[in-house]
Amino acid sequence: MSLTNAPDPAIRAAIVKQDLDNVMHPIVQHRALEKSQMVLVGAQGSTVRDADGTEYIDGMAGLWCVNIGYGRTELAQVAHDQMLKLSYFPHTAMNEPAAKLGEQLNTLMGGGYHSYFVNSGSEANEAGFKIARQYHKHESPGSYRYKVLSRHYAYHGTTMATLAAGGMGDRKAKFEPTDGNFLHIAAPTCYRCPFKLSYPSCELACVTNMETTVQAEGPDSIGEIIIEPIMSSVGIAVPPDEYLPAVEKICRDYGILLHIDEVINGFGRTGKMFAHQHYNVSPDIVAVAKGITSGYMPMAATIVKNNVFNSFLGEVSEGRNVMQVNTWGGHAAAAAVAVRNIEIQLEENLAERAGEMGKYFMDGLRTLFRHGTVGDVRGKGLLIGVELVTDRVTKKQLGNAEMVSVVDFCRKNGVIVGRAGGGKQYSNTITLCPPLVITRAECDRIVETLDRALGAIGK
């Protein structure tokens, strides 16, 4: 289906009925879905099209993932060709596309890594926790390190362990109790510093808080620290440049593994292939998903540094092998699509483009400061947050009804924007994470639509 196809109201109505009668959707309230009724049928570049013919600029690249943009027919061809050869075989054996993808990821990481393939960002983080536990069992059997340090308001996935690793109370509440071995410390959310300090005079109080927690808990009990370099769930938080190196130092000083979550940040989103590469750190475990296929196939990976990987080598009788298997891991057709997707990102210099376009976009968004409701505009590359407040001095969050109005106004005017999920503290932030192929004209259109949306709520 292409963007030129004519709308067909009867087909659309039939799909809506079929869906509402039979499907249970994630996170969205069905009563709201009954009203909004988006039925997507086509997409191209940064634009998606509803079956009623309405087109939207997708300011969120789907769920933060369609990095190379929609409508790349060559990826359909790649999947087709690979399926005709070998669609799938368990990854206890080898296949050509997954081997290629492993090499590609290792090269992008600068060498010295192996990839364990899974199907989603949640699984990639979950496998990371398990690999860290197993590593510590192998390497220091006397002092078992099992706790994971994470940050308040973080999001790392939807499984029970990744949920427990997350720091959003309202996402967890319905499922508690969760595993208690995930500890949370202050995040580098500088616009709303948890210590009410300002950078640089804060001297990175959040890192001091992290080290104090490590010492208080007992360093020998901490297996890893999980960090999303540019935190998305809080409406995008870009930490001070020294933050990640300081976290890495704590890891090295106390024998803790550094687990980096690149599920959103990865594959060019922030202006480099991986966001941790802005900060010159060398993580032990890296979770990737989303942009690894730009949404053309489900695929994800836990990329493991060789010091950790080597701990899994030994005689069969030693039982050091990865003690888990997942049916679709290393899926040949998905891996082939991932390989070509990454080649496209490299051929089209999309990471560099994200850096440049992000600056252009943020300059445009900063013109919105003419509205008293815009408290902060922040981001890196094409990962951007616009935090809305009732008062710039007190920073009181804009209320839910007005936030809904802003998002709905944009939608009604053909622009999809997101809203941070990090709980009540951060849901007053508009998030923007468009395909990395977005044009200047499309960025202008998003800015202009937000401008009108903020005008419409009278602020």
Ligand X SMILES: Cc1ncc(COP(=O)(O)O)c(C=O)c1O
Main-chain phi, psi angles of 282, to 5 degrees: -125, 85
> What one-character DSSP code corresponds to residue 2?
-
Applying CB under 6 A, which of residues 67, 82, 122, 293 lies at the interface with ligand X? 122
Applying CB under 6 A, which of residues 91, 151, 156, 305 lies at the interface with ligand X? 156
SS3 at position 127: helix
SS3 at position 408: helix
SS3 at position 291: helix
Query: Contact between 232 and ligand X (CB under 6 A)?
Result: yes
CA 374, chain centre distance (Å): 24
Here the tokens at position 180 are 């208690």
What DSSP assignment string belongs to 172-188? Answer: HGGG-S--TTEEEE---
CB 228 within 8 A of CB 265: yes
Here the tokens at position 455 are 């005008």
CB 426 within 8 A of CB 187: no
What is the Cβ-side half-sphere exposure of residue 137, based on CA atoms within 13 angstroms? 14
Q: Considering the complex, what minimum distance in angstroms separates the CB of residue 298 from ligand X?
A: 8
Query: Contact between 422 and ligand X (CB under 6 A)?
Result: no
Here the tokens at position 255 are 């024998």
- Between 227 and 437, whose beta carbon lies closer to ligand X? 227
Contact segment (CB under 6 A) with ligand X among 28-36, 234-242, 256-264, 412-420 equals 256-264
Query: Contact between 182 and ligand X (CB under 6 A)?
Result: no
Q: Considering the complex, what minimum distance in angstroms separates the CB of residue 440 from ligand X?
A: 27
Applying CB under 6 A, which of residues 37, 106, 158, 390 lies at the interface with ligand X? 158
The strand pair at 55-58 and 415-416 is best described as parallel
Beta bridge partners of 389: 397
Q: Considering the complex, what minimum distance in angstroms separates the CB of residue 18 from ligand X?
A: 25
Applying CB under 6 A, which of residues 56, 117, 155, 426 lies at the interface with ligand X? 155
What is the identity of the amino acid at 411? R
Query: Contact between 69 and ligand X (CB under 6 A)?
Result: no
Q: Considering the complex, what minimum distance in angstroms separates the CB of residue 122 from ligand X?
A: 3
Q: Considering the complex, what minimum distance in angstroms separates the CB of residue 379 from ligand X?
A: 15
What character string, x for contact with ligand X (CB under 6 A) and - otherwise, covers 35-64?
Answer: -----------------------------x
CB 328 within 8 A of CB 322: no
Applying CB under 6 A, which of residues 51, 101, 247, 263 lies at the interface with ligand X? 263
Query: Contact between 228 and ligand X (CB under 6 A)?
Result: yes
Q: Which residue lies nearest ligand X, judged by its C-beta?
A: 121
Contact segment (CB under 6 A) with ligand X among 169-177, 238-246, 259-267, 357-365 equals 259-267
SS3 at position 29: coil
Q: Which of residues 362-421 bind ligand X (CB under 6 A)?
A: none
Q: Considering the complex, what minimum distance in angstroms separates the CB of residue 321 from ligand X?
A: 25
* 72: region left, alpha or beta (phi > 0 left; psi from -120 to 50 alpha): beta
CB 22 within 8 A of CB 393: no
Query: Contact between 277 and ligand X (CB under 6 A)?
Result: no
- Between 98 and 287, whose beta carbon lies closer to ligand X? 287
Query: Contact between 293 and ligand X (CB under 6 A)?
Result: no
Query: Contact between 121 and ligand X (CB under 6 A)?
Result: yes
User: Residues in contact with ligand X, total (CB under 6 A)?
Assistant: 15
Length of the chain: 459
CB 270 within 8 A of CB 278: yes
What is the identity of the amino acid at 66? V
- Between 16 and 160, whose beta carbon lies closer to ligand X? 160
Q: Considering the complex, what minimum distance in angstroms separates the CB of residue 161 from ligand X?
A: 12
Query: Contact between 120 and ligand X (CB under 6 A)?
Result: yes
Q: Considering the complex, what minimum distance in angstroms separates the CB of residue 233 from ligand X?
A: 7
Q: Considering the complex, what minimum distance in angstroms separates the CB of residue 155 from ligand X?
A: 5
Query: Contact between 125 and ligand X (CB under 6 A)?
Result: yes
What DSSP assignment string belongs to 285-322? Answer: EEEE-GGGTTTSS--EEEEEEHHHHGGG-S-GGGT-S-
Q: Considering the complex, what minimum distance in angstroms separates the CB of residue 129 from ligand X?
A: 12
The strand pair at 113-118 and 300-305 is best described as antiparallel
Contact residues for ligand X, defined by CB under 6 A? 64, 120-122, 125, 155-158, 228, 232, 261, 263-264, 289
